[in-house]
Structure formats: C-alpha cells, structure tokens
Amino acid sequence: MSRRRACACGYRWLLLCLLICIVSTLLLMNDQLDVHVTNLGTPLVLPEEEADEVSAERAEPDSPPVVEEEPEPEAKAPSIQDEEELAPEQATEKPLLIPREVPAVKTLLDVYKELCHMGLTSPGSIRLAPTEVRDVVVKLYQPLVERQPPAPFHRERMVPLKPPDCKDPAWKHLLDGTRRSAPRAVVDVTTGMGGGPELDLLELRLWEINASLSHLKNPGVKDLYVISESAYGLRGDVKPLHFTRQRQRFKDFLPQVEHILLDNCSKYSREIEKLRQEKSTKRKKGGTMFSAEGIQRLCVLKTLIQRRPTVPDDALVIFSDLDEVPSAKAIQMLRVCQPRAAAKEGPWIQMHYPMPYNLRVGCKRKTKSQMHFQGVFATMGFLRRKKSLALRYNIRKNLIVPNAGIHLTYVGSRADVDYKLLHHGAARSWRPKPRPPANA
C-alpha cells in the first residue's frame, strides 16, 4: 500500500507541475500578444471592445512619439585612450595640420612629435592621408635617411670564398658537374630604390656580387649593375633621388652602373599621377599601387634590353628586390659551372634565408617551407626572348637555387624602417600608438 500511495503522490505532483507550466505559457502568450498589437501598424482582428480599447491607446501614425526630454550630460573631452579606439576612418576625418615649412629635424623623436602635431596619431592614418600630407612626412624623414653611415663598409669578406665545387651534391639538380670555359658576366637588376636602408643594402649587394670573382686572378668579364629610381615612391609620394644625390658613395662601381630614371617612362608617370589623385577609400583597399609597381619593373627590363644590345646572351641576370641580397657563393657557382641541359636558361628561383632584423643576431635554422622564395636567376637571352621577368615563379615547375641569399626585411635604423614602410604596399601600422604622459 505504501508503494501505491507513493506512486499516486508522484503522479499528482507531476500533473500539478504540468498544469502550472501550461498556465504560465498562456499568460506569457497573452502578454506578448498585447505588446505586438500596440507596436504593429496594422492591428490584429480582435473583438470590438478590445479593438476600440487598443486603438484609443495608439497614437496617430503621422504624429511623432512622445518622448520625455532628459537633461543633456556635460560635455567630456575625449581621452587619449578614446582616440586610440577610434576606427582609422573616423580618425582621418579630423582636420590635419600641414606646416608651411617642413622643420629640420635631428632625431626620430622630433619626427614623431611633428606627426602628432599634424594630427597623425592613429595607426593607419598616414596610409589614408592626402597626398600633400604624405609629401610632408617624407620630407620630415629625409635628414635621417640620408645620413652618412656610422662606419665605412668592410669591402673584404671575413670568410674568403673557396674555389667553386661544380660537383657539389646540393647543386646536382641544376649543374652537370663541369666548369665553363669562361665565367659568365653578371647583370644585376633591382627595383624600388626608395632610400632609407636601401642605400646600405645596395652597397652590400654590389660588394657581395663583386666578391664572387675573388677566386679568379684575371676574370676577363665586366659586370653590369642596373639601378633605377624615381622622384616618387611606390605610393606616389614625392621623394628625392637618393642614389643621384649620393653617387660618390658608389664611386668604385659607377663605370659599371646603368642608371634608369623611371619618370621617363610615360606609362609609369601616368600611373603615378593616377595614384596621387586617389581618394583615401580606394587607398584603403590597395588602390593602383601594385599596378604602378608592376609597370616600374617592366619599364626597367625593357630599358635594359634597349640600351644594352651588346650584353652576351649567356650573361647571368639577377632580378630581385634590394632587400633580397644574393649570395656571392651562389653567384660564383652559376657564373663558373655549367648548367644541365634540362635547366635551360632559367628562370631559376632564388631561395633566400629570411633574416627579419639585423646581421648581428643569430637565428634558429629554418626549414625549407620557412624560406623566402622570391627573385630569379636567368640568362640575358631568356630575358630578350620573353621581354620580361617575374619576381615569383611556381616552385613546383621551376628549379630552385639553394642558399641563394638572405632576405633583410627590417635591417637599418628605426627611421630607415619607417621610411621603407612609408613606400611599402602592405604597410599600415608603421608608427607606435601614442601613449598618455607619465604624469597624466
């Protein structure tokens, strides 16, 4: 009997709970129905007495809703933290101050103070700033990026190159193991001379290429160095011709330099003018900057072909950015050793070891997948037939040159790196965010 009573009691509690749930649901539905009826423009069909009651409470459709006015809060000045949290689009809406005369700065801190005074205080604001503002920023950095090197360049390698081993197993996919009857001449082609660390990189590059001939007493070849520059950066900002202004720094190589002024290329000049007239909304998405960069490279290669018809077809062409410095060892192997028949005349992809910061800090050895595959080796004959070269090719369909060089992404002083990022396509947050003063 006790078990039956327990079961009956349990059923009663279950029915009671179910009844409570049903009643609660009905009450909730009734409340929601009242809310919907008062908010919708077209009332639901209700009994006449309820409909009259609802319509009497609803305001006329054309009359504005009655809102009780609240006292306005006192105006509060935005803090530095609030300004940092603004979106780049909101930050650039503030008027920017352009100085009548660009002050002569001596330190990087002076540059940052002037940028804050101009109103460039948020990450990305410099990228979306008008052209006339960016021109001023470039001039601010000019004294810092054109400074003389703190010490003369070491022309001799610390570790002299050994004679090349054309049977090196690491090169068997590219070389047939024999030596050429005479070494190749080298034609080094770079683009994007923007200044900053690139003058240092150019000097390093020229001496490294020259070192690839150090094992030969009488090389019998004369290399060619193609250096191009423009009065505008890759984002259309006015800048000095840094190489022209510091030619004497490279006096040992000037007889072998083919200097190309990109502003003489009409297609490139038109693209730069279009870039300078772009609005900030288009610049945010990249704009035509990468198009101008591609036209620049094509102009350099076409001008080289036209000006140097006597360069032999078997000359080794090096085509890469300035911060992708080729290795003297790799150049030596390709200069002296005979390539396989399957290698043809290129293009051979350069495999660079990435060194993001400087030459004094050791890096953990990287795997092949972490290497930087950009820049190519080819022959002058290949360039003449194709009339162009690309910086990147399919690594699965083309041969790779092992240990071809190093990629120095952020080498140089902080001012040098800032200046480089001003002209870089993907650069945005190139400057530190402002911080409140310590006594705030």
pLDDT reported for residue 78: 39
CB count within 10 Å of CB 181 equals: 6
Question: What would the 3-class secondary structure string for 68-114 be?
Answer: CCCCCCCCCCCCHHHHHCCCHHHHCCCCCCCCCCCCCCCCHHHHHHH
Annotate 146-169 with b (16+ C-beta within 10 A) or e (fewer).
eeeeeeeeeeeeeeebeebebeee
Q: Which residues, 6 or more positions from 387, have their beta carbon under 8 angstroms from its beta carbon?
A: 301, 302, 305
Q: Residue 232's beta-bridge partner residues?
A: 238
Strands (DSSP E) contained in 94-166 are: none
pLDDT reported for residue 176: 95
Boundaries of domain holding 95: 80-144
Whether 14 maps to a domain, the answer reads: no
Q: Which residues, 6 or more positions from 245, have their beta carbon under 8 angstroms from its beta carbon?
A: 146
Whether 267 maps to a domain, the answer reads: yes
Whether 36 maps to a domain, the answer reads: no
Same domain, 218 and 288: yes
Same domain, 100 and 227: no
Which domain-ending residue is among 144, 171, 187?
A: 144
Same domain, 251 and 387: yes
Same domain, 320 and 402: yes
Whether 53 maps to a domain, the answer reads: no
Cα–Cα separations (whole angstroms), residue 282 to 130, 178, 345: 12, 54, 41
Quote the CA–CA distance of 311 and 314 in Å, as a whole number.
9
Cα–Cα separations (whole angstroms), residue 262 to 115, 247, 265: 30, 17, 6
Annotate 51-64 with b (16+ C-beta within 10 A) or e (fewer).
eeeeeeeeeeeeee
**Residue type, position 149, single letter:** P
pLDDT reported for residue 59: 37
Whether 39 maps to a domain, the answer reads: no
The pair of structure tokens assigned to 402 is 């092992």
Same domain, 179 and 131: no
Same domain, 179 and 126: no
Q: Which residues, 6 or more positions from 128, have their beta carbon under 8 angstroms from its beta carbon?
A: 88, 89, 92, 280, 283, 284
Closest CA to 100 of 78, 113, 118, 73: 118
pLDDT reported for residue 67: 36
Same domain, 101 and 202: no
Same domain, 84 and 169: no
- Residues of the chain short of pLDDT 70, as ranges, are 1-94, 122-123, 192, 194-196, 280-289, 356-369, 424-440
Same domain, 294 and 345: yes
Quote the CA–CA distance of 211 and 226 in Å, as a whole number.
18
Quote the CA–CA distance of 419 and 413 in Å, as a whole number.
10
Q: Residue 339's beta-bridge partner residues?
A: 175
Quote the CA–CA distance of 130 and 125 in Å, as a whole number.
10
Whether 75 maps to a domain, the answer reads: no
Whether 196 maps to a domain, the answer reads: yes
DSSP letter for each residue of 315-360? PEEEE--TTEEEPHHHHHHHHHEEEPGGGTT--EEEEEEE--S-SS
Tell me the three state secondary structure of residue 246: coil
Quote the CA–CA distance of 425 and 293 in Å, as a whole number.
9
Tell me the three state secondary structure of residue 439: coil
Number of domains in the chain: 2
Same domain, 228 and 117: no
Quote the CA–CA distance of 354 and 407 in Å, as a whole number.
5
H or E stretch including 189?
Answer: strand 186-189
Based on its alpha-carbon atoms, the radius of gyration of the chain, rounded to whole angstroms, reads 35
According to DSSP, the β-strands at 400-407 and 224-229 are: unpaired
Same domain, 124 and 217: no
The pair of structure tokens assigned to 378 is 């080819």
Whether 421 maps to a domain, the answer reads: no
Same domain, 255 and 378: yes
Quote the CA–CA distance of 393 and 28 in Å, as a whole number.
67
